[in-house]
Amino acid sequence: MRQGPFVLFSAWRGSGEQERVLEGMKLTGSQIFAEVLIEQGVDVLFGYPGGAVLNIYDALYQYQDKLTHIMTAHEQGAAHAADGYARATGKTGVVLATSGPGATNLVTGIATAYMDSIPMVAFTGNVGTSLIGKDSFQEVYIAGITMPITKHNYVVRRVEELADIMRSAFRIAQSGRKGPVLVDIPKDITSASCEFHPRPKWTPPSADFPQAIALAKAAEIINEAKRPVIYFGGGVSAAEAGEELRSLCEKAQIPATYTLMAAGILGYQEPLNLGLVGMHGCRTSNKAIDEADVVIAIGTRFSDRVALNTDRFAKRATIVQIDIDPSEVNKNVKVGHWVIGDVKAVLRALLPLIQPADHAPWLAQIEEWKQNDYHPKDDDTTMKPHQILDAVCKMAGSDAVYVTDVGQHQMWAAQYIHHLKPRCFLTSGGLGTMGFGYGAAIGAAMATERKKPIVMLTGDGSFHMNLNEACTAVSYDLPIITVIFNNQVLGMVRQWQTVFYEKRYSSTDPHRKTDFPKLAEAFGAQGRRCTSQPEFEQAFAWALEQKGPVWIECVIDKDEKVLPMIPAGGTLDDIMMS
Amino acid sequence: MQRKVISILVQNHSGVLARVSSLFGRRGFNIDSLTVSATDKPDISRITVVVHDDETVLEQIIKQTERLEETCQIFQLENEKSLLRELLLVRVAANAHDRAELHEIADIYKARIIDLAPASMAIELTGEPEKIDAFLAVLGHYQILELCRTGITAMARGDQKHHKQATKL
């Protein structure tokens, strides 16, 4: 082990003495970087080294007993990993990249986190201060590039500012509506020194008590409802308000439907859980919103994949919206009433004002819709997505964390995974980032300390985008089981071409010859190919026993569709059930 | 649609104007004018934005801008409760016998002639935007060679002072 003051700090850490030892000590920017990460409760970060961050990486070498750095194959994978880590834990994900291409490779990952309000801090190196603005080697103005996809970003101009800027970054990422923050650190800042003053970890202030008048009005509307429905989204997960949501559902017997970002908040089998809403949501959910007299929108943003036609969404209902972000009120759909605040705090304050109810006729009506909803048919002669997912759920157990890429497999996963717990379904909702999955799965594996099975569901299209991260899973022995729904085509785009473009399959049938099991082996992972359900179940059971990453390829029909489907801009009248 | 004036008090950091204009660009908010000015506090700048849009858009502009970390305060300045001023510089083609007439017009509007050349004169006028519009309408009878308007800068009337406590500082 190297000698140096850091060893001393490490030895002191946890004894309550380290603040005293560190107070006023002269540290380099890189040491400050490591110290503030530790101070903010970070123990894992994802990244990729390079010229501008060499000093920081040197510090990470010194602090390796406190900070685990996961080196990915590509910075995009690192960004998705930090995002996946944050989704799985609720903590702030941290990613580190070098200047120029390292920084630009983060962009998709940052935008993904931004669209889904995921707390993340991205650090980028930059060329030295004197070289900034000179088109220097690997120089890019990443603060400008990421302005519209971060909550805020910083360029550190002086080493004295570094610690406080990092602290602000963590505060902003976690406060209010969460999201990514970027801190750009020129190389000379990482080698310059200044006095360091330790601070306690920032913790969010207790949420403001929501406004009594707004609450009372909300309760009045809900109490008078005859046909209420709750429509909830990722904000419930961000606020850890699943229990409060369940209490509201149960107390007044209000059925609830969720967006993609909120899968797993309510259990799959809970009677009041209607299922997914929106374009590929079940008919019952969409019908319930269409027929409701009161829609309670909680932590959700009326996206165009749910409020497909903003003029006709919940057209018979008074909408009561609960959200932490005032800008979401009346943004896409006009709402009748709103309460602004932390969803958990608002629900807690609201619950005592809600009168118990049974809404029996309404629930009976909904039950009838459920019976007549779309139910996929089992078929033992071929591989069916819902049967594969059924088996996955049964075998992976209730501890598994599911991660998806983007496309048909993602929608099937949202529809058929037997979600049981919050933070166990990680998917790119807002940005719809193909290639999100493997990086996010790496993050999830680190978040669960490699102790839970991580099931990465992907399609052959999405997987080809970032399957290079398999090498990372191999390097770090991550128990990621990748289930590849291989239909040989870009299924979702092709489905649209089938429905809307008279089967003109432009660039969706690439005739790829990738041999997934062989490729897995080439990476040092293991792989199986399955063409039948029993074969798959056998392979999956085997996969669960393996320590490192496994790929299981499932061959499915290219005409397999995601159903139901309401076309973009459509209404319930346009729903396709076959 | 009515003209609406929004006042944004922001932290005086480099790049803050870029953040505001990037937000406006991204969200598709169309603006008539935007001015940035110093305030009595050196760490706070004021951005005055003029838009012609309906209430829904105005509400979104305010709420989205409020989300920016460097926004201290944002509020609408209602016309009757606000002092709105704009500066006009205009160069008009003027030969020897136009000069007297232009001088007279300038006097009526309390505008100042700030430059005189053999074939033109430059006039400065400060005032409410309506006054500037009216002045320019009169000048329409002459040949305008060059013109610039600063856009509106504004503050509230009376004793109200909005940035007493800049909330996020």
Q: What is the pLDDT along chain B (169 residues), one digit of tens a residue?
A: 789 999 999 999 989 999 999 999 999 999 999 999 999 999 999 999 999 999 999 999 999 999 999 999 999 999 889 999 999 999 999 998 889 999 999 999 999 999 999 999 999 999 999 999 999 999 999 999 999 999 999 999 987 665 444 444 3
Nearest alpha carbon to residue A490 among A409, A429, A431 = A409
The residue of A142, A327, A332 whose CB has the most chain B CBs within 10 angstroms, and thus the best one to mutate to test that interface, is A327
The label of the residue with tokens 């998709």 reads A108
The residue of B57, B69, B167, B168 whose CB has the most chain A CBs within 10 angstroms, and thus the best one to mutate to test that interface, is B69
Burial (CB count within 10 angstroms: exposed 0-12, middle 13-18, buried 19+), residue B67 = middle
Nearest alpha carbon to residue A173 among A296, A351, A40, A290 = A40
Q: How far apart are CA B81 and CA A559, in angstroms?
A: 64
Query: Count of CB contacts below 8 A, A vs B?
Result: 29
Tell me the torsion sign for CA atoms A267, A273, A278, A280.
positive
Q: Does B67 sit within 8 Å of A330, measured CB to CB?
A: no
- pLDDT at residue number A235: 97
Nearest alpha carbon to residue A426 among A415, A412, A440 = A440
Show residues of chain A in contact with B18, CB under 8 Å. 144, 147
**Which of B19, B60, B64 lies nearest to residue A147, judging by beta carbons?**
B19
Domain ranges of chain A: 5-196, 212-371, 385-555
At the fourth CATH level, which superfamily is domain A212-371?
A: TPP-binding domain (3.40.50.1220)
Per-residue pLDDT of A405-432, as tens digits, reads 999 999 999 999 987 799 999 999 999 9
* H or E, element range at A162: helix A159-174
3-state secondary structure of B65: helix
Longest dimension (CA), chain B: 58
Are the folds of A5-196 and A212-371 the same?
A: yes
Q: What kind of fold does domain A385-555 have according to CATH? A: Rossmann fold (3.40.50)
**Which chain B residue's Cα is nearest to A173?**
B69
Q: Shortest Cα distance from A53 to chain B (angstroms)?
A: 24
Show residues of chain A in contact with B70, CB under 8 Å. 152
How many C-beta atoms lie closer than 10 Å to residue B150's C-beta? 15
Supply the pTM of this predicted model.
Answer: 0.94
Lateral strand order in the sheet of A120-126: A68-71, A44-47, A93-97, A120-126, A180-186, A152-155
**Which of A147, A172, A325 lies nearest to residue B22, judging by beta carbons?**
A147
Q: How far apart are CA A41 and CA A38, in angstroms?
A: 5
- pLDDT at residue number A205: 82
DSSP state of A376: P
**Which of B22, B59, B69 lies nearest to residue A330, judging by beta carbons?**
B59
- Residues of chain A with pLDDT below 70 are 1-20
Q: Shortest Cα distance from B15 to chain A (angstroms)?
A: 9
How many C-beta atoms lie closer than 10 Å to residue A231's C-beta? 30
* H or E, element range at A186: strand A180-186
Per-residue pLDDT of B31-57, as tens digits, reads 999 999 999 999 999 999 999 999 999
Residues in CB range of B55: below 8 A, 6 or more apart:
none
- pLDDT at residue number A340: 95
- pLDDT at residue number A210: 74
Contact status, residue B117 vs residue B124, Cβ threshold 8 Å: no
Lateral strand order in the sheet of A318-323: A273-276, A256-258, A228-232, A294-298, A318-323, A337-340
Contact status, residue A71 vs residue A96, Cβ threshold 8 Å: no
**Which of A147, A172, A331 lies nearest to residue B18, judging by beta carbons?**
A147
b/e map of A432-470 (b: 16 or more CB within 10 Å)? bbbbbbbbbbbbbbbbbebebbbbbbbbbbbbbbbbbbb
- Evaluate whether the domain defined by A5-196 bears CATH number 3.40.50.970: yes
| Cis-peptide, bond into residue A564, ω within 30° of zero | yes
- pLDDT at residue number B160: 66
Q: How far apart are CA A360 and CA A255, in angstroms?
A: 11
Q: Which domains does chain B have, with CATH numbers?
A: 3-77 (3.30.70.260), 83-153 (3.30.70.1150)
Contact status, residue A457 vs residue A485, Cβ threshold 8 Å: yes
- pLDDT at residue number B168: 41
**Which chain A residue's Cα is nearest to B60?**
A327
Tell me the torsion sign for CA atoms A43, A47, A52, A55.
positive
Show residues of chain A in contact with B167, CB under 8 Å. none
Contact status, residue A288 vs residue A263, Cβ threshold 8 Å: no
- ∠ CA B126-B130-B134 to the nearest 5 degrees? 90
- pLDDT at residue number A220: 98
Q: How far apart are CA A182 and CA A165, in angstroms?
A: 10
- pLDDT at residue number A419: 75
**Which chain A residue's Cα is nearest to B15?**
A144
**Which chain B residue's Cα is nearest to A171?**
B69
Length of chain A: 578
Show residues of chain A in contact with B56, CB under 8 Å. 330
Interface of A with B in 151-180 (CB under 8 A): 151-152, 172, 177
